[in-house]
Amino acid sequence: MTTRYDIKRELRQCYAPKNTDWALVDVPAQRFIAADGSGDPNTSAGYARAVEALYAVAYTIKFASKADLGRDFVVGPLEGLWWSDDPEVFITREKDAWQWRMLISQPDWISDDFIEEAKRAALAKKGLPAIAEVRRESLKEGTCAQLLHVGPYDDEGPSLARLHHEYLAAHNLRMSGHHHEVYLGDHRRTEPAKFKTVLRQPVQTAD
């Protein structure tokens, strides 16, 4: 039996890091389905609708790929790009000032046309208006500082403060893209103390 493609296995350095302090990693180019929004993800109805729509499209793509292309895969974990005019709001957790782009990775054999057809099928089946806002996204993050955070999301602040105020300067680096998070496991079935989140920040030489 052919092994199902699993992004967490194929890109272990990006989806299964062991280091809990910042270290550099090279992240290859990837393709995603994406949905954008702003505000506190804990209270924003738009955030909940976006995530629901992403999963509806992702699973439609998965099942269509298996049925039509004979290629099965594990739906990737939810990921998010986060940014603001003031990066300090991620340390202070001022969530109303956050901008976000939620993502789910796609295998390289899933074409743009395949995604669009899956969107149409998912919209017809689920009737979720937010599906129409799901779009394709490509990332080329390259060199990134990355660590595995274990614990509640709101405990990320000290690690981000160390990145912003110590690690970057110590390694002659500066931020060169949006803060990126990968949410491993299912937070609905996991106590916050055991949440596992990959924290990632694209960087480049400061000079």
One-character DSSP codes across 116-164: HHHHHHHHHHH--GGGGG-EEEEE--EEEEEEEEES-GGG-HHHHHHII
0.85 exceeded by the pTM?
yes
The per-residue pLDDT for range 180-194, each reduced to its tens digit, is 999 998 888 899 999
Averaged over successive runs of 10 residues, the pLDDT of the chain (207 residues) comes to 85 96 97 96 93 98 96 97 90 90 97 97 96 97 98 93 96 96 89 95 94
The per-residue pLDDT for range 141-176, each reduced to its tens digit, is 999 999 999 999 989 999 999 999 999 999 999 999
Structural tokens at position 49: 């609708």
> Which residue's structure tokens are 């990632």?
200
Helices (H), the chain: 7-10, 12-15, 45-64, 89-92, 112-126, 157-162, 168-170
